């Protein structure tokens, strides 16, 4: 390759053209590119999907009928015919020293080319007797070709382009061979590799492709997975460090008349978790380093109060606070709740004849228009609005705060990293240029490892205790007609004594229009059927903000008994008098969503019931999980088990694209190590000056948007 004899870096491998690999020419290259392989690095990072271990094979004489078995055999012959009903059928005879077997494939004409006589194949399937001969129909076949070695890697292959598993195997082996003289460099400090008992990168790269034993493969996978999570953690920890280095924040007073008055006026004592969390937040607020903290708390844990305690610290010192909610309904509700909590508080004000005044709390959503809107925006700009509550309307360009000291983002998984940083930028535009303290609240508990990856740039507080006096929600699965009518009878009984109910309509992800239509239909049906005689309101995403606010208002006042809604009520709606939650077609929802929806009831002392209606008796592990537990963290783990991490990370979350081998479920220890190691690396060397190769790797592997903050002074 090049003249240098230093070990190869990933950047060098990335710059090496594919055509340096024996067997890749102008013809194969476009196909590889279509497959997402553009450089030698991409090729080496195309890891085997699985491995065939010759020593684990059965021989044909041991083959049991009706049992899934893997055999290593040679193709004897292969032909394709057309059946009477014009289907293509490929049949092959395969054999080993102990016997023969026939394979039959329907509608897979390409098999004829794949199964070249003389080639070795690993076949997995169930054999049955057919016309007295043993036969497997549509088995899984891995072509070994003429490859040797005990463990044979099987690569992903694409049916469309002409990239086959054996082709990839040959090219990867050639590329690895060409790397041999210089070896692949290891940018991770040797101390860490030793302490974590990991193998070197060169060895790992070889063994992931061509392991000699299962243990070698395992060690290779762990090493490369560690590299993946370490890079993500370095990026997140580096981002946090840079953020703390570069920004000056407020040193808020966390004691004083406003906070004291608020605490005294509370109608209930704080929970232990609230006390602890507020102390964590106040500690950060008092320091001039800007806070950037995540507050995780299950639905109903009392996050609003914590947010208010934080905002008051800013207001008390003469600054402003803002709370941003994901929907108008939620923003409305926060405004109502927070006004009620702060109703009796007075703020000392020398400019006022009486020496004090009420707090000015304003709601800014798209619904607020005309003169009112102008007045609020002016109040935000001149500082007379103490607390601004709103939707993303708050981060529009026209809005500028006089002195924004604290920001709460009620995220509920709907704001992304970009919006959070826009809010920070917004604050920096204000007079003094100080960065406000930021609290991100989420009601979606996520497992610790996922949190470390998704929210790795934040400090975390956990509200893990519900206020006392809650009666646990009873959750029932409803599938047949009898159960259904019993459910409606129960709902009617509760409505009759003045309690309220939600009915959530089927989620139709493909089309909001269909979803709305189905909600309207449900509304009509209930009105004339099971719930006739009760006052029913309808809430869906296609209604105007004014209409939505009217319906919600009527439901809050109790003028409406039943709210038929699409998932717009998913987040945060708080009406403690509601005791029934009926979720139709619950099998369509995800665990987190069902948990959120269920959290709309059980908010007072009354016993609440959640009904999960499924269409039939088909197994629905998600619905079962909800029936089994009301603990958001338990459910989050279950969700991770059932669905895998992609769904938790979100498609556009940072770093996700970089996790190919690492798994949030399996590699808990690796993720913890990576976090620790990233923290100690960044503490000792914030700009990674002494670890150029590692820094270069981060530059290479994260795109510009992701690494915008990266170690750039």
Q: Which parts of this chain interact with ligand ADP (CB under 6 A)?
A: 268, 270-271, 274, 297, 299-305, 443, 467, 574, 576, 603
Residue with Cβ nearer Mg ion (452 or 563) = 563
Q: How far is the CB of 328 from ligand ADP (least distance, A)?
A: 17
Tokens of 511: 């089309």
Which secondary-structure segment (H or E) carries 582?
Answer: strand 578-583
Residue 73, φ and ψ in degrees, nearest 5: -140, 170
Touching Mg ion, residues 568-607 (CB under 5 A): 572
Q: How far is the CB of 303 from ligand ADP (least distance, A)?
A: 3
Q: How far is the CB of 629 from Mg ion (least distance, A)?
A: 21
In angstroms, the CA 109 to CA 125 distance is 19
Q: How far is the CB of 315 from ligand ADP (least distance, A)?
A: 19
Question: Can you list the pairs that 162-167 forms with residues at least 24 positions away whose Cβ atoms lie under 8 Å?
Answer: 162/28, 162/31, 163/28, 163/31, 163/32, 163/35, 167/23, 167/28
In angstroms, the CA 436 to CA 290 distance is 6
Q: How far is the CB of 410 from Mg ion (least distance, A)?
A: 7
Residue 539, φ and ψ in degrees, nearest 5: -135, 120
Residue with Cβ nearer Mg ion (463 or 536) = 463
Task: Lay out the site mask for Mg ion across 519-558 (x = CB under 5 A, - = otherwise).
Answer: ----------------------------------------
Residue with Cβ nearer ligand ADP (220 or 462) = 462
Task: Lay out the site mask for Mg ion across 688-707 (x = CB under 5 A, - = otherwise).
Answer: --------------------
Ranges of beta strands (E only) in 29-150 are 50-53, 68-82, 88-96, 99-106, 120-130, 133-137, 140-145
By C-alpha distance, which of 71, 53, 70 is closest to 210?
Answer: 53
Q: Does 167 bind Mg ion (CB under 5 A)?
A: no
Residue with Cβ nearer Mg ion (224 or 573) = 573
Q: How far is the CB of 574 from ligand ADP (least distance, A)?
A: 5
Inter-residue contact 574 to 603 (CB < 8 Å): yes
Q: How far is the CB of 295 from ligand ADP (least distance, A)?
A: 9
Q: How far is CA 127 from the centre of its chain?
A: 41
Residue 89, φ and ψ in degrees, nearest 5: -125, 125
Q: How far is the CB of 56 from ligand ADP (least distance, A)?
A: 51
Touching Mg ion, residues 667-686 (CB under 5 A): none
Residue with Cβ nearer ligand ADP (300 or 506) = 300
CA distances from 531 to 538, 613, 661 (A): 14, 16, 52
Residue with Cβ nearer ligand ADP (287 or 577) = 577
Residue with Cβ nearer Mg ion (46 or 461) = 461
Number of residues that bind Mg ion (CB under 5 A): 1
Identify what 392 binds: ligand ADP, Mg ion, none; CB under 5 to 8 Å per kind. none
In angstroms, the CA 597 to CA 424 distance is 30
For the CA atoms of 273, 279, 281, 284, what is the dihedral angle to 10 degrees?
-150
Which region, judged by CB under 5 A, interacts with Mg ion, from 33-41, 237-245, 280-288, 564-572? 564-572
Residue 476 pairs with which residues in a beta bridge?
611
By C-alpha distance, which of 153, 157, 185, 200 is closest to 172?
Answer: 153
Identify what 110 binds: ligand ADP, Mg ion, none; CB under 5 to 8 Å per kind. none
Residue with Cβ nearer ligand ADP (416 or 467) = 467
Binding stretches for Mg ion (CB under 5 A): 572
């Amino acid at each position: 390759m090049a003249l240098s004899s230093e070990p190869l870096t990933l950047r060098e491998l990335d710059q090496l053209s594919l055509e340096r690999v024996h067997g890749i020419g102008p013809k194969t290259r476009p196909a590889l590119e279509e497959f997402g392989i553009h450089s030698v690095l991409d090729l080496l990072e195309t890891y085997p999907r699985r491995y065939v271990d010759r020593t684990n094979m059965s021989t044909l004489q041991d083959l049991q009928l009706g049992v899934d078995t893997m055999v290593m055999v040679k193709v004897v012959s292969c032909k394709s015919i057309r059946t009477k009903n014009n289907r293509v059928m490929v049949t092959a005879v395969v054999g080993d020293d102990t016997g023969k077997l026939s394979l039959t494939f329907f509608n897979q004409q390409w098999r004829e080319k794949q199964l070249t006589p003389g080639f070795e194949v690993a076949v997995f399937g169930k054999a049955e007797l057919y016309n007295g001969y043993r036969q497997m129909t549509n088995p899984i076949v891995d072509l070994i070709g003429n490859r040797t070695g005990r463990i044979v890697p099987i690569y992903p292959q694409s049916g469309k382009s002409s990239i086959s598993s054996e082709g990839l195997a040959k090219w990867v082996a050639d590329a690895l061979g060409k790397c041999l003289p210089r070896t692949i460099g290891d940018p991770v400090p040797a101390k860490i590799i030793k302490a974590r008992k990991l193998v070197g990168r060169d060895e790992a790269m070889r063994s992931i492709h061509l392991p000699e034993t299962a243990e070698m493969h395992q060690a290779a996978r762990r090493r490369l997975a560690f590299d993946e999570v370490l890079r993500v953690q370095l990026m997140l920890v580096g981002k946090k460090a840079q953020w703390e280095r570069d920004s000056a924040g407020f040193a808020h007073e966390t004691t004083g008349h406003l906070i004291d008055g608020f605490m005294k006026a509370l109608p209930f004592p704080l929970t232990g978790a609230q006390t602890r969390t507020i102390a964590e937040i106040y500690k950060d607020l008092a320091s001039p380093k800007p806070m950037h903290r995540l507050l995780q708390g299950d639905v109903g844990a009392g996050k609003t109060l914590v947010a208010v305690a934080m905002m008051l610290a800013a207001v008390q010192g003469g600054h402003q606070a803002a709370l941003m909610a994901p929907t108008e309904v939620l923003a409305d509700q926060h405004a109502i709740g927070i006004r009620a909590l702060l109703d009796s508080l007075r703020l000392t004000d020398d400019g006022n004849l009486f020496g004090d005044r009420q707090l000015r709390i304003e709601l800014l959503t798209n619904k607020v228009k005309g003169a009112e809107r102008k007045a609020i925006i002016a109040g935000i700009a001149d500082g007379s609005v103490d607390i601004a509550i709103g939707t993303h309307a708050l981060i529009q360009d026209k809005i500028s705060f006089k002195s924004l000291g604290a920001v709460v983002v009620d995220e509920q998984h709907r704001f992304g990293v970009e919006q959070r940083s826009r809010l920070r930028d917004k604050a920096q535009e204000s007079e003094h240029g100080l960065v406000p303290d930021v609290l991100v609240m989420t009601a979606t508990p996520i497992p610790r490892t996922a949190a470390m990856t998704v929210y790795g740039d934040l400090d975390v507080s956990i509200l893990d205790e519900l206020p006392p006096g809650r009666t646990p929600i009873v959750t029932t699965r409803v599938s047949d007609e009898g159960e259904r009518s019993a459910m409606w009878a129960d709902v009617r009984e509760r409505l009759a004594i003045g309690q309220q109910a939600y009915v959530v309509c089927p989620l139709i992800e493909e089309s909001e229009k269909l979803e709305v239509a189905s909600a309207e239909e449900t509304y009509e049906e209930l009105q004339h059927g099971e719930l006739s005689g009760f006052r029913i309101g309808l809430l869906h995403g296609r209604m105007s903000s004014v209409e939505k606010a009217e319906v919600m208002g009527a439901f809050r006042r109790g003028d409406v008994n039943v709210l038929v809604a699409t998932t717009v009520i998913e987040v945060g709606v708080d009406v403690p008098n509601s005791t029934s939650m009926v979720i139709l077609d619950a099998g369509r929802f995800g665990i987190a969503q069902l948990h959120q929806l269920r959290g709309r009831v059980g908010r007072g002392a009354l016993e609440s019931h959640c009904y999960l209606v499924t269409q039939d008796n088909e197994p629905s592990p998600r619905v079962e999980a909800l029936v089994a537990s009301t603990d958001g963290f338990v459910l989050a783990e279950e969700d991770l088990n059932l669905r895998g991490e992609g769904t938790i990370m979100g498609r556009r979350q940072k770093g996700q694209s970089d996790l190919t081998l690492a798994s949030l479920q399996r590699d808990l220890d690796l993720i913890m190590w990576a976090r620790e190691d990233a923290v100690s690396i960044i503490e000792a060397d914030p700009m990674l000056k002494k670890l150029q190769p590692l820094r270069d790797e981060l530059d290479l592997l994260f795109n510009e948007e992701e690494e915008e903050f990266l170690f750039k002074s």
